[in-house]
Amino acid sequence: MKELLYTFLKDFFATSKLNRLPESYGGGRIFSKPLIGIANGDDPIFEKFKEVAAPRHMTPAEMWIASDCPEAPNLASQLRIISVVCPFSNHIREESMKAKIMPAEIYSIGRNYANAFKIDVMKQLIQFFQEKGFQATAGMLSEAFDIYSGFLSTWSERHIAFAAGLGTFSLHEGFISEVGCNIRLCSVITNAPLEATPRNSDDPYANCLFYAKGTCRECEKKCPGDAIDENGHDKLKCWTYGRKVEAEMNARLGSILKPHWRRVRGEYKEQKPPVGCAFCQYDVPCMDKNPMASEN
């Protein structure tokens, strides 16, 4: 079923209208081909995420129950979590590498449209499993998803991707997959009996040149918000620069951006359309590959 699942997803990425830039920006694809990883629901790493990601981060079984999916004996062992890497297209990357101070318009639009596309990817995957007689849900689409305190949430797609063996964290606090860090992530939980993909390493920073070898720090040089140094990524400085980007790009592109709703502290709230920043992801060694691939 894994091959069928990947073919379905690859075709969906190729044909979905939601994976397209507006015609006035060339109409090309926002995301190229996806990657998928699969974790077992009873992997002990999900309990660890309560310590390292957020105290209220949910295990797949907790999310399953909270999403009104059926309970079962040994539920956790029956669940599989499919994490999907959505890599930005080369065209968006080429334009973004030329940008200074403010991101390329084409990236801001792609980053904004990415949310609607990811929601559809998760809905399509849920339907895919249901049509095959299984159940499925998605943490990000669940009523149980919440950003409950500052930057803490009940479901972190980067942590799910790590569990599914898709890559590791990094100095810029992105996620370095085998196709790089300039990506978006989403996931679904199912009771279909898929074979899990192994993690190459339990080192959460194995793919980052700075943590693995003490070199690089290119993301630090690219950041216009002074939000990265040898101690890591300063979320508050990043957020502050992000508000400047948001104000400028929303003013420039407002009429073609899509609205965005998120559950924050228990309530669905309309947010300013997200437009990204991501200078730290462009023209760096981990933009489109795992720079430690040959050594890991």
Q: Is 206 in the site for ligand SF4 (CB under 6 A)?
A: no
Token pair recorded at residue 35: 């990657």
Q: Is 183 in the site for ligand SF4 (CB under 6 A)?
A: no
Q: Is 177 in the site for ligand SF4 (CB under 6 A)?
A: no
What is the rounded CA–CA span in Å between residue 156 and residue 72?
25
| 207-225 burial: b if 16+ Cβ within 10 Å, else e | bbbbbbeeebbbbbebbeb
Q: Is 217 in the site for ligand SF4 (CB under 6 A)?
A: yes
Please state, in angstroms and as integers, the Cα–Cα distance from residue 274 to each residue in 19, 27, 66, 184, following that order: 16, 20, 27, 13
Cβ atoms of 228 and 219 closer than 8 Å: yes
User: Of 57, 172, 184, 199, which one interacts with ligand SF4 (CB under 6 A)?
Assistant: 172
CA-based nearest residue to 289, from 186, 201, 172, 167? 167
- The binding track of 112-151 with respect to ligand SF4, each residue x by CB under 6 A or -, is ----------------------------------------
| 63-96 burial: b if 16+ Cβ within 10 Å, else e | bbbbbebeeeeebbebbbbbbbbbbbbebbbebb
CA 215 to chain centre: 25
What is the rounded CA–CA span in Å between residue 199 and residue 162?
8
User: Of 219, 249, 257, 275, which one interacts with ligand SF4 (CB under 6 A)?
Assistant: 219
Length of the chain: 296
User: Of 41, 60, 139, 291, which one interacts with ligand SF4 (CB under 6 A)?
Assistant: 291
Q: Is 87 in the site for ligand SF4 (CB under 6 A)?
A: no
CB 235 to ligand SF4: min, Å: 8
What is the rounded CA–CA span in Å between residue 86 and residue 166?
12
What is the rounded CA–CA span in Å between residue 180 and residue 77?
30
Q: Is 104 in the site for ligand SF4 (CB under 6 A)?
A: no
Q: Is 180 in the site for ligand SF4 (CB under 6 A)?
A: no
- The binding track of 231-260 with respect to ligand SF4, each residue x by CB under 6 A or -, is --x----x--x-------------------
Between 12 and 169, name the residue whose CB sits nearer to ligand SF4: 169
User: Of 95, 157, 218, 288, which one interacts with ligand SF4 (CB under 6 A)?
Assistant: 218
Between 12 and 210, name the residue whose CB sits nearer to ligand SF4: 210
User: Of 84, 86, 188, 278, which one interacts with ligand SF4 (CB under 6 A)?
Assistant: 278
Q: Is 285 in the site for ligand SF4 (CB under 6 A)?
A: yes
Half-sphere exposure of 56 (CA within 13 A, CB side): 13
User: Of 25, 46, 107, 210, which one interacts with ligand SF4 (CB under 6 A)?
Assistant: 210
Tell whether the torsion through CA atoms of 134, 73, 59 and 177 is positive or negative.
negative
Between 9 and 209, name the residue whose CB sits nearer to ligand SF4: 209
**For the chain, what is the total number of helices (H) and then of strands (E)?**
10, 12
Q: Is 279 in the site for ligand SF4 (CB under 6 A)?
A: yes
Write out the residues near ligand SF4 by the rule CB under 6 A: 170-172, 208-210, 216-219, 223, 225, 227-228, 233, 238, 241, 277-280, 284-286, 291
